[in-house]
Amino acid sequence: MKLKDCHNFEDFRKLAKKKLPSPIFHYIDGGADDEVTLNRNTSSFNDYDLVPSVLNDVSNIDMSTTVLGEKIDFPLFPAATAMHRLYHHEGERASAKAAEKMGTIFGTSTMGTVSIEEIAKVNKGPKLFQLYIHKDRGLTDNLLERCKKAGFSSMCLTVDTVVAGNRERDRRTGFTTPPKLTLGSLLSFALHPGWTINNLIHEKFKLANIVHMTQKGTSIDKSVIDYINEQFDPAMNWKDAEYCVKKWNGPFALKGVMSVEDAKKAIDIGCTAIMISNHGGRQLDGSRAPFDQLAEIVDAVGDKIEVILDGGVRRGTHVLKALCIGAKACSFGKGYLFALAAGGQKGVEKILENMKTEINRDMKLMGCKNLGELNRSKLIHRK
Amino acid sequence: MNLKDCHNFSDFKKLAKKKLPSPIFHYIDGGADDEITLNRNTSSFNDVDLVPNVLRGVEDVDLSTTIFGKKIDLPFYCASTALQRLFHYDGERAVGKAAQKFNTMFGVSALSTVSVEEIASLIDTPKMFQFYFHKDRGLNDAVLERVKAAKFDVMALTVDTITGGNRERDLRTGFTSPPKLTLSSLFSFASKPMWGINYLTKGKFELPHLQDHVSEGTNIATSIGDYFSTMLDQSMNWKDAEKLCSQWGGHFALKGIMSVEDAKRAVDIGCSGIMVSNHGGRQLDGSRSPFDQLAAIVDAVGDKMDVICEGGIQRGTHILKALSIGAKACSGGRLYLYALAGAGQAGVERALSQYRAEIERDMKLMGCNKISDLNRNNLRYRKI
Ligand SMILES: Cc1cc2nc3c(=O)[nH]c(=O)nc-3n(C[C@H](O)[C@H](O)[C@H](O)COP(=O)(O)O)c2cc1C
Ligand SMILES: Cc1cc2nc3c(=O)[nH]c(=O)nc-3n(C[C@H](O)[C@H](O)[C@H](O)COP(=O)(O)O)c2cc1C
């Protein structure tokens, strides 16, 4: 299997599985507890059907939209995710370049492995930084200031990770600290020499944004779970979020809002957008899927704040369905991460290209010329 | 597979399967008829989703709740289950001590294999005795007096076993009377020698609450189904329950209430709580799952008595969902029984500590600091 054989999410996933040592593959692929929410995130889209209109002259389709103050070519962007250099030795450089080339926002995580400054060098397009509030509050200020200076266009604060989710695959594969080298995981690293060699010969793995601030940032012989539980501040509250909004003084999103009550508070503290998200099913299993919750949120706050759907998106039609309900745009994580693992920058470009093509084709088949024409009359809930 | 590899319910189940002779494993694991209710008990939780709140400041989370007048540190407890020394030679001693360590309620079955007196001497945390109403009234009175003397905190009368459920796995494996030693069950006992050795050497197997009264009490050469059908009083009615309740004179619960009408009558006869339960799917197959029925019961009597949601629980989030609907606490059997079979007291402790960790993590992810923060606003039913 090669990159050119990757036509959809499942293909990229398969190729990533082939290329990655299994603990790393399962770190991307897995969810919390029984993965009920992980699975529902995608299956929720299938409870709704699209109803096309025909004979509408669809020779020209405009897929562009404006989110977080930036115009993007199509309504999907890569969500901020941790540690890209684990998946491909070029890491965030590859994904950042791909996003710029495809004309969409690039999201990068506090837990990134290429620094804010370097990303700004390789990506001149719209960039979003995803903030985690650490117990060390000095780190928050430092990150906000560096992003401003580096020219990031928007900021997002993740609020669904006050404690790490129960990712049982990681416990089994030994994606923990110190790297639990079980016979199985050792074997898996040995069986994926390409990954292992690249990992060894390229620069040392580090959490580039926070390496100077914390001891913990210097290596990955700390599990992500332990890192989150030791470093992130569970006392984080609305005052802290408001502080960040004010300090950033630009387009700001809260990532991981699920209740209407919280969506309203996000407006009160001056946010530009909320990302309806359960962290891709990696945190609270049994929690509602973003798509299931979308209508309720849009009805309450859709006219006052940008609503971005994050989680479970695998197909162009999923994006269309979310936009029909009233989302401004969607973001996705696993899709482009598998593509990154499968083929570096080329891989990410390819999956973004695929999704863009799907959205374009699906718009035509729906008889819609621009995103504004997508609305709830085009969507029926299957009883 | 070892105890340290057990991260969740199904891991413990695998370990138990490895350790137990198969008739005993299937006695725990199985349900009635086609096991539709057994399975629904768990899957019902997946038709409802949690909606978290964020930015609530959740560094400290209080998991305690008060049921039957007793404060317990966890919002769930160990339901009373029979014959625990069949599962592990320490039996109720192991479960009781583990429950004490976590300061939660320990339910002791009428068919327990360690006496109430011994349990009372072992643990001083809240204890519940589960009562079966026998035809022999002398036996009933004697048991009640013993439990009273042992200073148990709660008495729960089980009302869903008026006759034995149709547990077909037991018919097949030979968990019947006299032990039907089929070729495969013989093989299974022989292939788990440690279980056999412990069973034979760690003290005689007894049913201490029954043995002075009936010959059936002295060994398990009668099946549980036969016991229910021959020894329990099928004429048991609301008057009997009411009489027992006043005879006990303390916190009294009915275990196995499913209808709103019965829940209201439980209030009328003076109960302080009910367990919404179908006996873990072991009695009437096709009956409604506790979680599916919970809202209706809570709406009717939730302000007048403690409503316990019992059965099907395999995750911390299941407990959170039941509490959000209005249960005062949850209880479960298999959630600690596989762990008991797998590794005795250490196993039960590991299971309880994992559930505690899950609930604590899930509370934080829900943005809740205490159990009473959970409510129906946090839940959405999936459209069907
Ligand atoms: C491997 C991986 C790492 C992630 N790291 C982060 C992170 O550092 N910060 C964050 O806010 N979200 C993180 N996420 C969540 C994503 O931003 C996004 O919410 C999620 O992947 C969306 O679901 P999807 O994967 O179904 O598209 C991560 C997700 C994955 C799969
Ligand atoms: C092996 C086993 C033995 C049980 N014995 C009794 C018993 O003696 N008395 C009783 O009232 N309930 C008994 N139960 C039912 C439990 O108290 C409880 O209702 C049930 O286990 C809850 O379902 P769960 O196993 O899915 O948590 C038993 C259950 C099991 C699995």
Q: How far is the CA of A333 from the centre of ligand 1 (A)?
A: 5
Q: Any idea what the CATH number is for the domain that residue A247 is in?
A: 3.20.20.70
Per-residue model confidence as pLDDT tens digits over B55-87 = 999 999 999 999 999 999 999 999 999 999 999
The mean predicted confidence, pLDDT, of chain A is: 92
Q: Which two tokens stand for residue A22?
A: 């299994």
* Tens-digit pLDDT profile for residues A249-306: 999 999 999 999 999 999 999 999 999 999 999 999 999 999 999 999 999 999 999 9
Report the gap between the CA of A10 and the closest CA in chain B (Å).
Answer: 25
Min Cα separation A54/chain B (Å)? 29
Residue B36 has a pLDDT of 96
Alpha helices in chain A (DSSP H): 9-19, 22-29, 36-43, 92-102, 116-122, 137-150, 168-173, 183-191, 193-201, 224-231, 238-248, 260-268, 290-301, 316-325, 334-366
B334 lines ligand 2 (CB under 6 A): yes
Could you give the number of structural domains in chain A?
Answer: 1
Q: Return the amino acid letter for B169.
A: R
What are the tens digits of pLDDT across the range B276-335?
Answer: 999 999 999 999 999 999 999 999 999 999 999 999 999 999 999 999 999 999 999 999
The predicted pLDDT at position A222 comes to 59
Task: Please compute Rg for chain A using Cα positions.
Answer: 20
Residue B218 pLDDT: 47
Q: Write down all domains in chain B, each with its CATH number in brackets.
A: 3-381 (3.20.20.70)
For the stretch A321-346, pLDDT in tens is 999 999 999 999 999 999 999 999 99
B158 CB within 6 A, ligand 2 = yes
DSSP label of B371:
G
Pairing of strands B48-50, B379-381: antiparallel
With CA atoms as reference, report the closest residue to B81 among B358, B348, B349, B306: B348
Q: Which residue has the higher pLDDT, A358 or B215?
A: A358
Torsion angle of alpha carbons A46, A47, A48, A49, nearest 10°?
60
> What is the set of active-site residues of A?
279
Q: Is the pLDDT of residue A173 over 90?
A: no
Cα gap B46→B94, rounded to integer Å: 32
Region A25-44 average pLDDT: 97
Cα A30 from Cα B101, distance rounded (Å): 33
Query: What residue type is assigned to position A17 of the chain?
Result: K
Say which ligand is closest to the CA of B111: 2
* pLDDT at site B134: 93
pLDDT given at position B6: 96
| Helix extents (H) in chain B | 9-19, 22-29, 36-43, 84-87, 91-101, 116-122, 137-149, 168-173, 183-191, 193-201, 224-231, 238-248, 260-268, 290-301, 316-325, 334-366
Question: What letter would DSSP give residue A73?
Answer: S
Q: Are A346 and A92 in contact (CB under 8 A)?
A: no
pLDDT value of position A171: 85
Ranges under pLDDT 70 in chain B: 176-184, 186, 214-223, 384
Enter the tokens of residue B159.
Answer: 């009302």
User: In terms of Cα–Cα distance, which of B234, B300, B244 is closest to B270?
Assistant: B244
Structural domain harbouring A36: 3-381
pLDDT at A221: 52
Residue pLDDT, tens place only, A120-158 = 999 999 999 999 998 888 899 999 999 999 999 999 999
Nearest CA in chain B to A256: B54
What residues have CB less than 8 Å from B264, skipping those under 6 apart? B300, B301
Note the pLDDT of residue A178.
Answer: 45
| A159 contacts B55? CB cut-off 8 A | yes
